[in-house]
Structure 1
Amino acid sequence: MVEPLKDRANVLFPGIALAGLVAIAAQFLNEHYGAPAMLMAILLGMPLNFLSEEKRTAEGIAFSARALLRLGVALLGARISVEMVQALGLPFLALVVLGVLATIGFSLLIGGLFGRDRLFSFLTGGAVAICGASAAMAIGSILPKRENGERDLAFTVITVTVLSTLAMIFYPILTSSLGLTTDATGVFLGGTIHDVAQVVGAGFSISEETGDLSTLVKLIRVTMLAPIVLVAALVLRKGAAPDATRPPLVPGFVIAFLVLATCNSFGLIPDAAKETAGHVSRWALLAAIAAVGMKTSIPKLLEVGGPAIWMMLTQTVFLALFVLGGIWLIG
């Protein structure tokens, strides 16, 4: 038993180590130059595409792109609790949930206008609606295997991270020019910016109170990831051809996410464990995205085309207008 595990570890280690090194480099650029870590991880990984076909590293890179991703998403559950949801209040909670669902529905409706299929529309719509790169990775892991699946995933991660970074810069200016209150500003930033890190950056650039509220709203959007992935997995399983490989009935990482969120809601996870889970989650996701970058061919990425970029920009604008409209109605 021990020997096969040791042999398996020896096979996987070179690829995992490479993904880890790229993740460390991305984090260094983030800490010293303010560059988005997720974006840097995939961009640094892409020139190393040849290593995904190298015998010594291919399996470890594939393992990192798949298993480390699921570990990272599952550990996000340790940050979620029922108290967070209750603290926001029912009207704004409903707005956040409806914003996520409406954006995904809107994405499925407009996909054909941009020449994209429903799987691509769901992938990009989920990334924009929920939590950026992390959502893209989670959704990508349950989609049926297809020829350009990894290319589309890499494109989505890059584009949603760039859009999130632009939103981090311009949304605080927008909220100021619109004269939104502190609470409305926090709800808008947390309800519209794609990635958690950029929400934190935008919120705390205004005030500590805005930063706390926007982060809370963002984490509530993150809680939507598990049920949406679960429902999507069930739908995809039901719609799969009889001879096709079906996704699992309930993805294991979704179960782990929900279990951790439940435990945290009952106060069963110590603060030190939550902090550790957060760090492990971040590094696992960074390494997974680096591995996705290494599995992505730049020429193939360019094949996605301009209409797909405009599609994701349209999704982003829709979400912003939806949340702004809701804030205006709630008052």
Structure 2
Amino acid sequence: MAVSGYGNNKNKVVVYYVVIALIIIAAAIFIFYPHRKNKNAVEQPNAVETAQQNQAAPTQPSTSSQNTAAKNIAPGTPITPPANSTNPRAAALIADAQNNINAGKVIAARNILNDVLNMQLDPSTREIVKSQMTQLANEWLFTRVIQLGDELCSTYRVQPGDKLTFIAASHKIPYQLLMRINNITNERSLRSGQTLKVIQGPFHAVAYKSAFTMDLYLQNVYVKSYKVGIGKDGHETPPGLWKVKVGGKMIKPTWTDPETGHTFYASDPNYPLGSGWIALDGIDNRTRGINGIAIHGTKDENTIGTKSSLGCLRLYNGELTEVYDLLEPGQSEIRIVE
């Protein structure tokens, strides 16, 4: 029994050493032999290459189809003149414009409604038409899309050496508008061969003192209206024709109150001119030689719609910023009427 037990133990010892030897050999192979790449493995892309591939390519201005335009402008909000409308011809044209909107014909509708605004209208109908034209402007003007048949918008291919300011000036509009509609965040990023949507300016405005409103036009096409504050008694806003002064657009310029003599600087917490200043030059017999008139913002937006300024036109600060980017010095005219 003893001999038999010893033999079994001896066999176990041999097996033990064999197992140890196999483990050592396997470890040596793992350590000293180069690993071969799995042919079926999928390589992970380089992080830099991935970032470059994921960068969005610059978008180009697009020309809308009628179907696309119809989707953007809800035909479910019809232009309905009041039942007591006193101009049957205007009512018929408004209905025609609505049909064009339903068909996605944005420019045809815009042009019809613009003609309607030049007709004799009751105040309610006029406001309805203006409201619809403002909605249309969000489709044909303030986007990268160029609507079919639009003579006011086109494309421009950037040439070597071009600057955004030069391109804008040649179209009689501020460069800030080109940046806005083309999604350009840095004017220095312009590159040769790039295609831009451009607007055929200039913009103009008509301010109605009795209504405390200012209507904005691109050439002779109505775009939208703004509520304004006007001159208080003794400092009435002078009616007549004005032009945006060359070099007269400024962000928070130093200003001296002509009544108190106090000078305000941009850092002053009581700075009264709001977000910007658009100086005006008088260009007709009634306005020529009058100084100090401008369109500007305000520190007190409760004064919009009132007689409260020293003769200037006041706007809400956000709207002043918008107008600032639309009016071109030396080109844009402002007509002020009673």
Q: TM-score, normalised to structure 1's length? A: 0.25
The structure with the largest helix share of the pair is 1
Q: Which protein has greater RCO, CA pairs closer than 8 Å, 6+ apart? A: 1
The structure with the largest strand share of the pair is 2
| Structure with bigger gyration radius | 2
Q: TM-score, normalised to structure 2's length? A: 0.25
